[in-house]
Amino acid sequence: MLIADQVGERLREERERLRLTQTEFGALLRVSRGTQKNYELGANSLDLRYVAALEENGVDAGFVLTGRRSTPLGQLITAGEEELINQYRSIPDDDQKAIRRFLRAMADDAAKG
């Protein structure tokens, strides 16, 4: 297996972790679906601007390039946590503020024992 193939496989793994299609992922990183597909197949080497855009968009570029995660897997958010984050982002700002107040109050109570 070529190094480029391994990079492409890890890139696909990260895209799937984020639950994005090649088209969505490519748009996020400012490349076409075809370019994204070629990166994932190992047919093209990653452009440095693309690698920088990976990090800017929450992708573990270190993992994509080396196979080693910069954040241990146990510290990555779970699917349930990701679902909560997505739900939180979909509600109005005032509701987000109310949830933050509620969570602060719960954390304070938990700290008191």
CA distances from 60 to 4, 10, 17, 55, 101 (A): 17, 10, 11, 6, 31
Per-residue pLDDT of 57-66, as tens digits, reads 888 898 999 9
Q: What is the reported pTM? A: 0.60
Per-residue pLDDT of 72-112, as tens digits, reads 655 667 778 888 888 988 999 999 999 999 999 999 999 99
pLDDT for 17: 87
Per-residue pLDDT of 10-20, as tens digits, reads 999 999 988 89
Task: Decide which of 55 and 78 is more confident.
Answer: 55
